[in-house]
Amino acid sequence: MAGEAHPFETTDFNPAWATTMCTSRPWLRPPPLTAISYDTSKPEALFKLDLFHLLRWVWVLYADLMLLLKGYMALASHTLQIGYCGFGLKPKFHAEVALAKRNLKEWRDPCLPTACGFAVCLARVGAADVAKQVVNTPWWPAGSEKTLESVGIISHGFVYMTAMMEVNETLQKTALQEIWDVRDIARGAGAELVDLVDCFVNAPAGMAAEVKKALISAMPPDLQASLPAFTVVEMPGEYQFVYNSIMCTALVPDGKSVRKTWRHRGAYGVSARGMVFIEGSVANGTQDAFEETRELVTRFEELSALAAAAALAECSAFVAHAADAAAVRRALEASGSSPAMTIVQATGLGVNKSVLLRCTAAERAQTIPGATVTDRFVFASAQLGQNTTGLDALASLEEVLAGANVTLKDVINCAFFVKDQQKMMDLFGGFFKVFNQDNPPPPSRGEYQAQSECPSCQVAAKCIAARPVKSSEMARIVV
């Protein structure tokens, strides 16, 4: 019983007082309660859990149910024994959320125990090459993509994920939950967090460094030692009340492909399967948008060459002023580089910095109007639309993809930049019509609020499509 020898205020999940329940009598003389009918062989059975400890137990059950509903069932090994004297029933509840238990074994265990004594094992998908395969998780089960986006798409050895966002009482807890979300999607595709090759994060104004630090510290040690290309840009996301979101891509291991990190003159990238994912960077020194872009393109191309990727396939330029988009395009032309381009406005690029550039390089890349085509993917330049539903932008995307012999059904991932955050639901309606109804299954996606290079445009749609053809058929594309 709780008392002098066993402090009652102990709130551990295995308190010392729990071992005395139904075994000791905490009185020197019989209390008045013994006037009530009871089992004379067990007078201590009159004493039950008090309000303090009972409320804690109820909270544990509530928290566990909430975790179960979301699919986060990685619970710690501590056990709370609740004794029901006289009935011989002592169920065990795994009751501590794994916030305090983040060792390597837990991170890599695909089976997540629940309080109910069973485990949910995330499905592992085989390594056979596919053009487009929907990923599911316990909290995004099969069929969710019929009315929503796909939480992840496996395509040619990678899994492209939907942007994950959480809201918790602290930024650190929010970051940890978001990393867990990313982990679940990766595992649903047969990958792990250490297989991440690229992540894009949006953050509130002035908080890019803080958000990046929180997310990286929430990663397991082996991933921190070999980070993905990790770009954080200050811009609002899908909802006003959400700090940030994180949209990642991971390599799906096949026993042959190698994930490797690269550094060159301040540029950082991760290579896998003939592609290099290059982290967003700003130029050295104070220049202008033209010179900054030229410097960054040069550095990125040199890094790509070291990693044996032939050319920049697609780039996103985040500019301090939308009017700098023209200078960025002139710089690309002057550099002889012609990746698929997306240009939107963002803040927090650094003191007197005009451009933050983020790119993907690839082997065997060819340019067609509005896109770059490789043997496996079509990287489309952002398509701009005047309609808040994005329907006109997606119609333009369909025309671009036709030049590479693919359709909207082949789209695997999109990032949408919406001018007015209040119009985000309009975009979701357009997305549902185009992808859920007309061209299922839908791609994974992320949504952000940003002004594109077109002042009157409401939506910029940056999408990737998978080619269902083999590399030997690359020559069929007319350039």
The confidence score (pLDDT) of residue 331 equals 97
Q: Which residue has the tokens 């990286």?
A: 216
- Find out whether 123 and 141 touch, Cβ atoms under 8 Å: no
Residues 185-200 have a mean pLDDT of 98
Give tens-digit pLDDT for 460-470.
999 999 998 57
pLDDT reading at 171 higher than 60: yes
Phi and psi torsions of 148, nearest 5°: -125, -170
Which runs of consecutive H residues, i.e. helices, occur in 95-139? 104-108
Work out the average pLDDT over 435-457. 98
Tokens for 263, please give them: 């550094």
- Burial zone of 62 (CB within 10 Å; 0-12 exposed, 13-18 middle, 19+ buried): exposed
| Residue 213 confidence (pLDDT) above 90 | yes
Q: What is the average pLDDT value for the chain, to the nearest integer?
A: 82
DSSP letters spanning 437-462: ISSPSPPEEEEEE--BSSTT--EEEE
Least confident of 258-267, 301-310, 425-434: 301-310
Picking from 312, 310, 315, 303, the residue whose alpha carbon sits closest to that of residue 270 is 303
How high is the pLDDT of residue 84?
30
Q: Helix, strand, or coil here: 371? A: strand
Residue 310: pLDDT band with limits 50, 70, 90:
confident
- What is the tens place of the pLDDT at every residue in 110-161? 444 433 333 334 444 445 789 999 999 999 999 999 999 999 999 999 999 9
| Cα atoms found within 13 Å of the Cα of residue 39, Cβ hemisphere only | 10
CA 56 to the chain's CA centroid? 32
CA 200, CA 160: separation in Å to the nearest integer? 11
What end-to-end distance do the CA atoms of the chain give, in Å? 81
Q: Among all chains, which residue has been given the structure tokens 């060792």?
A: 103
Measuring CA to CA, how many Å separate 313 from each of 57, 276, 301?
55, 10, 11
pLDDT greater than 60 at residue 307? yes
Amino acid (one-letter) located at 153:
I
11 phi and psi angles, rounded to 5 deg: -115, 15
3-state secondary structure of 282: coil
Alpha helices in 312-409 (DSSP H): 325-335, 391-402
Provide the Cα torsion 198, 200, 206, 209; round to 10°: -20
Residues 6+ apart with CB under 8 A from 262: 268, 269, 270, 271, 276, 303, 306, 307
**Residue-wise burial string across 398-410, b where 16 or more C-beta atoms lie within 10 A, e elsewhere:** eebbebbbbebbb
Residues 164/146, Cβ–Cβ less than 8 Å? no
In CATH terms, is domain 123-257 a member of 3.30.230.10?
no
Confidence (pLDDT) at 309? 74
32-63 pLDDT, tens per residue? 655 565 555 556 555 555 554 444 445 445 54
The pLDDT tens digits for 395-439 are: 999 999 999 999 999 999 999 999 999 999 999 999 999 999 999
Task: Say how far residue 107 (Cα) sits from the centre of its chain.
Answer: 15
Instruction: Give the pLDDT confidence score for residue 308 in this predicted structure.
Output: 83
Q: Is the dihedral of CA 175, 176, 180, 181 positive or negative?
A: negative
pLDDT at 10: 52
Output the CA–CA distances (angstroms, integers) from residue 326 to 249, 331, 380, 416, 452, in the order listed. Answer: 30, 9, 19, 21, 12
What is the predicted pLDDT for the residue at 243? Answer: 85
* Residue 247 structure tokens: 């949209």
SS3 label, residue 195: helix
276/24: higher pLDDT: 276
Q: What percent of the chain has pLDDT over 90?
A: 68
Q: What is the pLDDT of residue 421?
A: 96
Higher pLDDT, 255 or 64: 255
H-helix or E-strand spanning residue 203: strand 196-203
Break the chain into its structural domains and give their ranges.
16-100, 123-257
Note the pTM of the prediction, 2 decimals: 0.75
Report the number of secondary-structure helices (H) and strands (E) in the chain.
9, 23
Q: What is the pLDDT of residues 360-403, one digit of tens each?
A: 999 989 999 999 999 999 999 999 999 999 999 999 999 999 99
Residue 81 has pLDDT above 90, yes or no: no
Q: How far apart are CA 199 and CA 231, in angstroms?
A: 6
- Cβ atoms of 29 and 36 within 8 Å: the answer is no
3 burial (CB, 10 Å; 0-12 / 13-18 / 19+) is exposed
Give the number of other CB atoms < 10 A from CB of residue 429.
13
Containing H/E element for 319? strand 311-319
